[in-house]
Structure 1
Amino acid sequence: MFDFVRKHTRLLQFVLVLLIFPSFVFFGIQGYSRFTGGEATAVAKVDGHDITRAEWDAAQRDQVERLRRQMPGLDPKFLDTPEMRLQVLDGLVRERTMLAAADKLHLVTTDDRLQRIFATDPQFAQLRNADGSVSKEFLAAQGMSSVQFAQRLRQELSMRQVLQGITATAVGPAGSSGTALDALLQQREIQLQRFEPKDYLAKVSPSDADIEAYYKNPVHAAEFEAPEQADIEYLVLDLEALKKDIKVPEEDLKKYYTENEARYSTPAERRASHILVKAEKSLPEAERAKAREKAEKLLAEVKKAPGSFAELARKNSDDPGSKERGGDLDFFGRGAMVKPFEDAAFGLKPGEISGVVESDFGFHIIQVTAARGGDKKSYEEVRAGIEDEIRKQLAQRKFSEVAVEFTNTVYEQSDSLKPAADKFKLELRTASAVKRAPQPGATGPLASTKFLDALFGNEAVRNKRNTEAVETGPNQMVSGRIVKHEPARQRALAEVKAQVRDRVAAEQAAALARKVGEARLAELSKAPETALPGATLTISRAQTRDLPREVVDATLRANADKLPAVEGVDLGAQGYAVVRLLKVLPRDPATGDMARLQQQYAQAWADAESQAYFASLKTRLGARTTEAAAAAASSPAAN
């Protein structure tokens, strides 16, 4: 069932939104007033009613579980972050606000409308049984009764009505849509002159005072900080480690080979051509005899001149699917053809021609043109692979038991990994300069956020204790300990002087480029007819020609009442640019159908209006998060 949900996520999007928040298990929009939580900490309030920490935690767990079903390999820690938890709370506030608004506006979904929508809407087709009822398998997988499902669907449809009057009726006026599309799609022809810092590096020379001032500036402190790092040792318990000590008796390997011979054989195939004289089994015997006689005559011609088989097939075969190819049927295996045809074809060698073969379709003359497959690898060829596979299977069975022992050992003897390494015959691995976050190119446990979080935990750092055994992948447990720890520190100026000098030089070169560019702009402002070096460019927001965004924005923002016009663009660390605007051109035709774009603009307008209306609903209903929410967002969900 979970596979079904994962494969139909897009189709079921509308339904799944009903399942996010477990607080909506009460019945009836009129029952909204029962959403109270006076005994628990309120993290938000809507229309005078609390959203409690317990409800928020439940919604978070529900969302994490649903996403894990859809993406089984996803690390749950990525889902239980403060940002994700606040998103869930925002969703709860939105749901409660919409429920309250639907209740106050009397937007109740009747039983008849509920049934009609479920029975007719295509997005519910995969959830409907033949009799129109909802799939019990789906409900069971979600832990719901049919009453709960109907009520959640009723609530969602009622909430949709709150904004539907706005989203369904919003219109993008022609005037405003034209202005907006012009801003996006209008083209302008320009000349451009860049003043890049790299061209001015040779003209600057930072002094020691400049370098020291840059280094001591608090704004740049983080640039010269040596990050926290540690030299570590660690153990990896996985299937590869367990396989080393597993021995498989030779007789078991041979038995496995015998029981799985089909896996080591290539299916035999034949390529054949045929001439069919059609005569279905239901025909009178006289007509079938006449057809056989025709086939015998064709066989005599083929045997007299085997090279003419393809030509005779084109002229005489009654098989429309192969006659144009000279009777060629391409390669086929056993079971693909009717049995008399198959037996004859697999009884011939390449180049041989059969006699007349009778089948339910009529009479065939068969020529085998090629053969392949049918080979079987010897036991010696596949022995190593069989042994590895069996050892892997045995290691998987053993892993669960050993993982518990491994976990206990690294915990009970937490001042060293050597006892665990000796007991389980594991390699004691080491790594240097390990940081709190996975580094580019990291693999294995060093790419695991879970392992690194444990490694840099307070106890592991302060007392250099073994970490707990951390699951870093399927059938893989890891424990590590810090051997040497270096906290984050500010590097001395002597260590980073060359690096600081380069940055100061870059700043000074950018300032000089800006100064020269501004002087050029002043010249052009007095004589805008002066051409700039280089070719002209035609740009729009859709066709930026890889120019910096600042240049594109300045070009399309420039006043085009009097042309040519000039603009200066400060590119910060990238220098300066002078733009000379020559022409204003119509919208870029490559951007597509204007009617479709106007529809998209109208949809964007509708989205903006609905967001504004929802904001007003929140204000009217007093929807807000409390001070407790920010602190709770950083706390793990209650179990």
Structure 2
Amino acid sequence: MLESIRKHSKFVMILLFLLIIPSFIFVGIDQSYFSGASPTVARVAGQDITQNDWDNTHRVESDRLRAENPGIDAKLLDSPEARYATLERMVRDRVFQAAAQKMHLVTSDAALARTLQGIPAIANLRKPDGSLDAEGYRALLAAQGMTPEAYEASLRRDMSVGQVVGNVMNTALATPVVANAAMDAFLQRREIQVAQFKPQDYVAKVQVSDEALKSFYAANTAKFQQSEQARVEYVVLDLKSVRDSIELNEADLQTYYKENAARLAGGQEERRASHILVNAPKTMSAAERDAAKAKAQAIADKVKANPSSFAAVAKAESQDTGSAPQGGDLGFFGRGAMVPEFEQAAFSMNKGAISDVVESEFGFHVIQVTDVKLPAVPSFAAVREKIVNDLKDQQAQRKYAEVAELFANTVYEQSDSLQPVVDKLGLKLQMADGVTREPRPGVEGPLANPAFLQALFAADSIDHKRNTDAIDLGSNQMVSGRVVNYQPAKQLALEDVTDRVKTLYVQQQSAVLAREAGEAKLQAWKADASQAQGLLPAVVVSRDNPVGMPRQVLDAALQAKTDSLPAWEGVSLGDAGYAIVKVNRIVGQAERTADFNQQASMQYVQLFGTAEGAAYYELLKKKFDVQIKVARP
């Protein structure tokens, strides 16, 4: 049959074409066919943000932050909160892009030019005639890995997007009366006293019975469920594991030592030089500078003809009053000690050589290098460990991409076990119990990565115990895992959680008793303030200085009506009990200057504009049907 197919291959190809292409026409081509079926983590205006999009964007953002802040803790960048913040920024950018497109907001060439002119780094590239130094502009952007075309397109897009919410925020207005009223409320200070009713003080009064526990359990079954969990094994590939697998031979170490001996020395080269200076400050006329240069050239020709006369000529001709008496000797110096032109000449010459005329801001120099001091080169044995570390670091960076591809292929092709990739790459097989679909508090590493957990709890992984695809964790790190044992979510029986039921019941009832006691005291003290006992010492609170008060207490204190004082307010603190707040008086505010009032008004307008912008963004999210499919950490 195979021979028949080979003889009629052209006919078979036509038949396959007729069978396959119509299926694509009528059914459509799933994007996952091309994208590798990366799961969707968010959707904006019908456009998906995939897990790969999220991972790549977060990796780029993390790399940028690491470059800008070398000392930053990598754990902060890879935390679930940091990753989710990246996703939210991606969603926000997509929303604004969709809005800008819908509203036909564009940035004109004139507006783009004005913005470019307002950027100091670009404004400094202007020539005396006012035109832009095109080469300098291109070099400035190239240093940041961009071309002028790409940068201007990005800036134009950002300006168009900025119009979406900027036009709303810039319309915020506030009259002095409104601003002052708002700032008065914010800055007002009140003297208060607080009485606390803590649940732990009422624990002994809680009556516990079997019927009460049964009722509490029945009313709160969701609190007594065991979430789905799994026992998993996983393998991590990172730079360290690649580095540990690298073996170096002695010949490579010796070669590296010979080629990098100067760098391994650790110190810096020093030069000793003498010079003859002919002064020529920038204030000299062109004719005077030409004459000074001619004089220096004559001196250079003279000492080159008779190098042994350099010191004598320097004493007689040099206009450097500091070094001339010593025959022009400047002693030893390292890089950075002399002006650039002098340094470049001195460090490019051999010992005993005499330079041509060298021009600097001080005038014209003739230089003779009299000695060269090289840093001591350590022995091979002394730096062998450093060489090993350097070479392993370099090779690990180069080898990681190759090993990562092998890692991904192995866990995919031999998907029923992780042992093949462990054996092939010398990795460590790690185990974890009680792994849940959402990261557990305090968990770090791969088991805190939502993408990895999502892959572990995919139907194929749970049902068939297959390896997950290689998941890129960023920072040159990949992971693959498989479910060894899976337990679906289940309701726990009362007899299995009796102690926990009792603990939660007592906590709830003691909080109820604390609240009831506080409410009774509040009514009694309102009727007769002389009965008030147990109030803490008076403190002065304000929005900008809460002195450690809980938010509920602070809100109650500053929102209480002060038509008659003292004023009393009761505050439920939930599981933390109850508090009674007594407002004794409104504390006078310091006199404000005109500048303070102006700044306060500007701050209020800014805050009001920010609030309007945030509210408008929420409206746009609804308009463009934003769906975030990943739970907030």
Q: Mark yes or no: TM-score above 0.5.
A: yes
Report how far residue 424 of structure 1 moved: 3.5
In the aligned structure 2, how far is the partner of 1:488 from the partner of 1:235?
Answer: 26
Matched, 1:446 2:447: yes
Instruction: Give me the whole-angstrom Cα distance separating, in 2, the residues matched to 1:634 and 1:293.
Output: 75
- Write the letter of the residue equivalent to 2:598: A
| Match among 591, 597, 601 for residue 598 of structure 1 | 601
Amino acid at match of 1:553: D
Name the SS for the 2:174 alignment partner. coil
Q: Equivalent residue of 2:451, what SS?
A: helix
Q: Which letter maps to 2:215?
A: A
Q: What aligned pairs does 1:620-631 form with structure 2 within 5 A after superposition?
A: 625=623, 629=625
8 A contact 2:192–2:585 mirrored in 1? yes
Alignment-derived partner of residue 100 in structure 2? 95
Tell me the TM-score normalized by structure 1: 0.63
Does the aligned pair in 2 maintain the 1:528–1:565 contact within 8 Å?
Answer: no
User: Once the 2 structures are TM-superposed, how far is the Cα of residue 421 of structure 1 from its aligned partner?
Assistant: 2.9
Alignment of 1:108-187 (within 5 A): 114=111, 117-118=114-115, 120-122=117-119, 125=122, 131-132=131-132, 141=146, 167=171, 171-187=173-189
Q: What is aligned with 1:10?
A: none
Q: Is the 8 A contact 1:59 1:88 kept in 2?
A: no
Q: Tell me whether 407-416 or 482-491 shows the greater mean CA deviation.
A: 407-416
Between the aligned partners of 2:189 and 2:233, the Cα distance in structure 1 is 61
3-state DSSP class of the match of 1:190?
strand
Question: Among residues 529, 544, 565, which one is paired with 1:563 in the alignment?
Answer: 565
Give the 5 Å matches for 1:34-433: 57=47, 69-72=60-63, 78=83, 87-88=92-93, 90-92=95-97, 94-96=99-101, 98-99=103-104, 114=111, 117-118=114-115, 120-122=117-119, 125=122, 131-132=131-132, 141=146, 167=171, 171-217=173-219, 220-244=220-244, 246-267=246-267, 333=334, 336=337, 374=375, 376-433=377-434
Q: 1:385 to 1:493 in 2, by over 3 A?
A: farther
- Matches of 1:426 and 1:78, distance apart in 2: 27
Query: Post-superposition shift, 1:608?
Result: 6.4
Contact 2:194/2:579 (CA < 8 Å) preserved in 1? yes
| Percent identity of equivalent pairs | 34
After superposing the two structures, state which structure 1 stretch, 476-485 or 120-129, moved more.
Answer: 120-129
Q: Normalising to structure 2: TM-score of the pair?
A: 0.64
| 1:513 aligned residue | 514
Kindly state the Cα deviation for residue 572 of structure 1 after the two structures are TM-superposed. 2.3
CA separation in 2, counterparts of 1:121 and 1:332? 43
Paired residue secondary structure (2:431): strand
Cα deviation, 1:556-583, whole Å, max 9, x if unaligned, reads: 2222121222222222222222222211
Deviation at residue 615 of structure 1 after TM alignment: 11
Tell me the residue number matched to 1:538. 540
Give the corresponding residue for 2:302: none
Q: Which runs of 5+ in 2 are unaligned?
A: 1-42, 65-76, 271-275, 281-313, 348-361, 365-372
The range that moved more, 585-594 or 201-210, is 585-594
Q: After TM superposition, give the deviation of residue 613 of structure 1 in Å.
A: 9.7
**Partner letter of residue 484 of structure 1?**
N
- In the TM superposition, what is the alpha-carbon distance from 1:247 to its structure 2 partner? 3.3
Q: Does the 8 A contact of 1:81 with 1:634 survive in 2?
A: no
Partner in structure 2 of residue 299 of structure 1: none
- Partners in 2 of 1:72 and 1:545 — Cα distance? 39
Displacement, 1:178?
2.7
Offset, 1:462: 0.7
Report the aligned-residue RMSD: 5.3
Amino acid at match of 2:122: A
How many pairs were matched up? 501
Aligned partners of 2:333, 2:382: CA distance in 1, in Å? 27
Structure 1, gaps ≥5 residues long: 1-52, 103-107, 271-278, 297-318, 320-328, 344-358, 362-371
Preserved contact between residue 64 and residue 80 of structure 1 (Cα < 8 Å): no
2:552 counterpart residue number:
550
How far apart, CA to CA, are the structure 2 residues paired with 1:334 and 1:83? 49
- The answer to whether the 8 Å contact 1:529/1:564 transfers is no
User: Contact (CA 8 Å) 2:179, 2:600: kept in 1 or not?
Assistant: no
Give, in whole Å, the separation in 2 of the partners of 1:155 and 1:238. Answer: 41
Structure 1 residue 232, shift from structure 2 partner: 2.0
Read off the aligned partner of 1:535 and give its amino acid letter. P
CA distance in 1, matches of 2:164, 2:394: 52
CA contact 1:64–1:79 (8 Å) conserved in 2: no
